[in-house]
Amino acid sequence: MTDDCCQTRPSKMQKVNGDAPEEVKESHVAVDTSSAVSTQPSHGDNPALGGTQPFAASRYSDFLSNVSNFKIIESTLREGEQFANAFFDTETKIKIAKALDDFGVDCIELTSPAASEQSRKDCEAICKLGLKTKVITHIRCHMDDARIAVETGVDGVDVVMGTSKFLREYSHGKDMTYITKSAVEVIEFVKSKGIEIRFSTEDSFRSDLVDLLSIYQVVDKVGVNRVGIADTVGVANPRQVYDLVRTLRSVVGCDIECHFHNDTGCAIANAYTALEAGATHVDTSVLGIGERNGIPSLGGFIARMYAADREYVMNKYNLKALREVENLVADAVQVQIPFNNPVTGYCAFTHKAGIHAKAILANPSTYEILKPEDFGMSRYVSIGHRLTGWNAVKSRAQQLGLELTDDQIKAATNRIKVMADIKDQTMEDVDAVLHVFYRAIKNGQDISHDKVFDRLLEHYNATPDVPAIEAEPTA
Ligand code: HCA
Ligand code: CU
The DSSP code sequence of 87-152 is: ---HHHHHHHHHHHHHHT-SEEEE--TTS-HHHHHHHHHHHTT--SSEEEEEEES-HHHHHHHHTT
Residue 317 has a pLDDT of 98
Dihedral sign, CA of 236, 239, 245, 247?
negative
**Count of beta carbons in the 10 Å neighbourhood of residue 136:** 25
Atom of ligand 1 nearest to the CA of 78: 14
Catalytically active residues are 356
Are 291 and 305 spatial neighbours (Cβ–Cβ below 8 Å)?
Answer: no
* H/E segment holding residue 191: helix 176-192
Which residues lie near ion ligand 2 (Cβ < 5 Å)? 79
Ligand 1 shell residues, CB under 6 Å: 79, 82, 138, 158, 160, 200, 202, 228, 230, 232, 259, 261, 291
| pTM assigned to the model | 0.86
Q: Who's near 470: CB < 8 A, 6+ residues apart?
A: none
Q: How far is CA 113 from CA 13, 107, 148, 231, in A?
A: 49, 17, 7, 24
End-to-end CA distance of the chain: 52
Cα–Cα–Cα angle for 195, 200, 206, rounded to 5 degrees: 175
**What is the three-class DSSP state of 226?**
strand
The pLDDT of residue 396:
92
From 73, 77, 78, 79, the mutation candidate for ligand 1 (largest count of ligand atoms within 8 A of CB) is 79
pLDDT for 13:
72
Query: Can you give the C-alpha Rg of the chain in angstroms?
Result: 28
CB contact at 8 A, 157 and 197? yes
Q: Which atom of ligand 1 is nearest to the CA of 291?
A: 8
For position 69, what pLDDT does the model report?
95
d(CA 180, CA 174): 10
pLDDT digits (tens, 9 = 90+) for 359-374: 888 898 889 999 999 9
Mutate to test the pocket of ligand 1, among 172, 207, 259 (most ligand atoms within 8 A of CB): 259
pLDDT of residue 359: 86
The pLDDT, as a whole number, for residue 468 is 73
Ligand 1 centroid–CA 378 distance in Å is 36
pLDDT (0 to 100) of residue 17? 54
The pLDDT, as a whole number, for residue 57 is: 52
**In terms of Cα–Cα distance, which of 174, 179, 196 is closest to 187?**
196
| Domains assigned to the chain | 64-333 (3.20.20.70), 350-462 (no CATH)
Atom of ligand 1 nearest to the CA of 160: 10
Encode pLDDT of 121-136 as tens digits. 999 999 999 999 999 9
> How far, in Å, from the CA of 308 to the mean position of ligand 2?
25
Strand partners, 136: 109, 156
- Determine the distance separating the centroid of ligand 1 and the alpha carbon of 327, expressed in angstroms: 25
The CA 268 to ligand 2 mean position distance, Å, reads 14
Pocket test for ligand 1, best of 202, 215, 235 (most atoms within 8 A of CB): 202
* Below-50 pLDDT ranges, the chain: 1-10, 18-52, 58-59, 474-475
